[in-house]
Amino acid sequence: AKPQADAPPLVIHAVDAGTFQEDFNPYHLEGVNFGTSGMIHETLMYFNKLKPGEITPWLALDHKWSDKGKSVTFTLRQNVKWSDGQPFTADDVAFTFQMLKKYPQLNRNALEIEDAEALAPDKVRVDFANTSYAKLFNIAGNSPIVPKHVWEKEKDPSTFTNPKPVGTGPYTLSKFSAQLYELVKNPSYWQPGKPEVPVLRFPAYTANALQTALQQGEVDWAGAFVPDIQKIYVQGKPEQNKFFFPPEGVVTLLPNLTDPVLAKPEVRAAMSLAIDRDKIVRVAERGYTKVAHPTGVPMPGGEAYIPPEYRALSYKVDVEKAKELLKGVDPAQLKFTLLVPSPFTDWVNAAQLIREDLAKIGITVETRGVAFQDWVSKVGKGNYDLSIRATASGPTPYFQMRSMLFGGLAEPVGEAATGNYERWKDAETDKLIDAYAATEDEAEQQKATQGLGKIMVEKMPTLPLFYSPSWAQYRTNKYVGWPSEQDPYAMPSPYTSPDAAVVLLHLKPAGK
């Protein structure tokens, strides 16, 4: 296919920013400009979170585990070139992982790298201190490869801002200002004829400014919460101004299990029965997402990870039954504070609805909105009764389950935990989690996850409410081929990487 000289640029809003910093280091956390990983720097493999288990070879053609999961060898794609013309080799991969070992602050996946070695120009082996089957996503799907010949000259890659990035990806940086940067097609990209979008523009929009921009049609692809999407964005043209909010993790009502009352399963069960999740989704979440499956596994897509007997399960409000369950509990004890981060206005509203629902079964809830950081620290340390929190997500539901339930993450109250905030301690749960991590076999892994789902349904360590939506608004007037419910080939939101690059490679000019 000929390059489309007249194909229009695509205007993208990925993250809220007043201004941009000139930082294209893919291992930086916040200041880094979006598109650095995926569009410029690519990973070894691509994991589609919307279809757990679907893995696409990318810079690596395949991988092989050895040494009981402590070592992995990648076979790399040939004929890939860096955007400055140098060939991409196993040395670059080895360099990248060695750099992560040397600079732990860049190693945000906390890979326990022991060594990385180029075995041949197209073969590289990475060794780990522990069994790392479960971390394949972090290793291959979330560690962008950087060019050794450029980066080895830098004294401290942790503060290196990579202002003239050299990558293997479909785009290269062409322009940068504090308000706007532009990526253009990499002419020597290894996927011939792609991408078909020649120019990407990233203007800086704050959350507010973006709303106006969306209304005025300035942006082609955005990932934003829009309070009234019909009025502000769709504007009566649903076939052109589309949006797709697939689930990405689950938001649960966290009960603090160190509280003797909340530790009683019947109390949690009663709460779950009383909460009208449909209304929460409708009113607080404006219908942008769906009520969670009782296992918490994102659906559709996660079917294989849900025990067969529960696949069709869904929540039903039953106040009478809930009251029944609470018969044995002293009503005076049913008083809780529900802590929510006040900047998350939808959660504040959800908390309000939960308060109203729980009042119906005699549970008094005081909602308290606190500063984000306050909430983080209180929930982290277990100083709360009830709270609302989203869980981390990964390429399969296991990651979410582990973070919600793994006993090893349950810190004593007063110490900051990094997961399992409700402090669920259960030997069976931990065994299932270990089982998943100890195998490479997908079927085994699914079985373990199903076991966790069963625990979620039956013991209710935490109460799933709704899925956290992944925001994506895209317009089809310039380009078509976006992911959709029918064809969820990648996360549609422009702020997820490397999925965004995958989306761009699927796009075709409209009207062709």
Q: Segment 266-285, which members bind another protein (CB under 8 A)?
A: 282-284
Q: Out of 76, 262, 353, 490, which residue is the one contacting another protein (CB under 8 A)?
A: 353
Half-sphere exposure of 451 (CA within 13 A, CB side): 19
b/e 256-291 (16+ beta carbons within 10 angstroms → b): bbebebbebeebbbbbbbbbbbbbbbeebbbebbbb
Our finding on whether 340 is near another protein (CB under 8 A) is: yes
Find out whether 189 and 195 touch, Cβ atoms under 8 Å: yes
DSSP line for 42-102: --SEEEETTSTTEEEESSEEEEEEEGGGTEEEEEEPSS-B-TTSPBP-HHHHHHHHHHHHH
Nearer Cβ to another protein (28/293): 28
Smallest separation (angstroms) from another protein to the CB of 254: 13
SS3 string of 431-499? Answer: HHHHHHHCCCCHHHHHHHHHHHHHHHHHHCCCEEEEEEECCCEEECCCEECCCCCCCCCCCCCCCCCCH
Find out whether 71 and 88 touch, Cβ atoms under 8 Å: no
Q: Which of the residues 228 through 267 are near another protein (CB under 8 A)?
A: 228, 231-232, 249
Q: Which of 224, 186, 157 has its CA nearest to residue 81?
A: 186
Nearer Cβ to another protein (261/390): 390
Count of residues that bind another protein according to CB under 8 A: 76
* DSSP β-bridge partners for residue 369: 340
Smallest separation (angstroms) from another protein to the CB of 104: 3
Our finding on whether 79 is near another protein (CB under 8 A) is: no
How remote is the C-alpha of 284 from its chain's centroid? 22
Q: Residue 281 region, left (φ>0) first, then alpha (ψ -120 to 50), else beta?
A: alpha
Nearby residues of 434 by Cβ (< 8 Å), 6 or more positions away: none
Smallest separation (angstroms) from another protein to the CB of 299: 19
Smallest separation (angstroms) from another protein to the CB of 4: 21
Q: Which of 487, 40, 471, 510 has its CA nearest to residue 222?
A: 471
CA angle 364, 365, 367 (to 5 degrees): 155
Our finding on whether 419 is near another protein (CB under 8 A) is: yes
Smallest separation (angstroms) from another protein to the CB of 176: 11
Whole-angstrom Cα distance, residue 132 to residue 103? 20
Smallest separation (angstroms) from another protein to the CB of 226: 8
Our finding on whether 469 is near another protein (CB under 8 A) is: no
Smallest separation (angstroms) from another protein to the CB of 441: 24
Our finding on whether 209 is near another protein (CB under 8 A) is: yes
Smallest separation (angstroms) from another protein to the CB of 359: 10
Sole window of 34-42, 119-127, 385-393, 448-456 interacting with another protein (rule: CB under 8 A): 385-393
Nearer Cβ to another protein (43/138): 138
Nearer Cβ to another protein (112/318): 112
Q: Out of 36, 143, 168, 403, which residue is the one contacting another protein (CB under 8 A)?
A: 403
Whole-angstrom Cα distance, residue 18 to residue 12? 15
Nearer Cβ to another protein (175/316): 175
Q: Out of 56, 78, 130, 159, which residue is the one contacting another protein (CB under 8 A)?
A: 159
**Sheet containing strand 113-120, strands side by side:** 60-66, 71-76, 123-128, 113-120
Smallest separation (angstroms) from another protein to the CB of 88: 25
Q: Out of 370, 401, 437, 460, which residue is the one contacting another protein (CB under 8 A)?
A: 370
Q: Out of 18, 238, 287, 300, which residue is the one contacting another protein (CB under 8 A)?
A: 18
Our finding on whether 61 is near another protein (CB under 8 A) is: no
What length is written for the chain? 512
Q: Which of the residues 474 through 503 are near another protein (CB under 8 A)?
A: none
Whole-angstrom Cα distance, residue 90 to residue 325? 61
Q: Out of 3, 87, 121, 227, which residue is the one contacting another protein (CB under 8 A)?
A: 227
How far apart, in Å, are the Cα atoms of 497 and each of 34, 42, 48? 8, 10, 11
Sole window of 69-77, 163-171, 389-397, 451-459 interacting with another protein (rule: CB under 8 A): 389-397
Q: Which two tokens stand for residue 425?
A: 């301690």
Our finding on whether 386 is near another protein (CB under 8 A) is: no
Nearer Cβ to another protein (120/392): 392
How far apart, in Å, are the Cα atoms of 27 and each of 47, 160, 168, 222, 348? 19, 10, 16, 23, 33
Smallest separation (angstroms) from another protein to the CB of 222: 14
Smallest separation (angstroms) from another protein to the CB of 85: 28
Q: Which of the residues 108 through 147 are near another protein (CB under 8 A)?
A: 108-110, 138
The mark string for 436-455 relative to another protein (x by CB under 8 A, - otherwise) is --------------------
Nearer Cβ to another protein (394/481): 394
Give the position of tokens 């999407």.
Answer: 229
Nearer Cβ to another protein (32/80): 32
Nearer Cβ to another protein (9/263): 9
Our finding on whether 208 is near another protein (CB under 8 A) is: yes
Nearer Cβ to another protein (43/393): 393
Task: Name the amino acid, one letter, at 18.
Answer: G
Q: Out of 352, 396, 450, 493, which residue is the one contacting another protein (CB under 8 A)?
A: 352
Whole-angstrom Cα distance, residue 309 to residue 303? 11
Nearer Cβ to another protein (88/406): 406
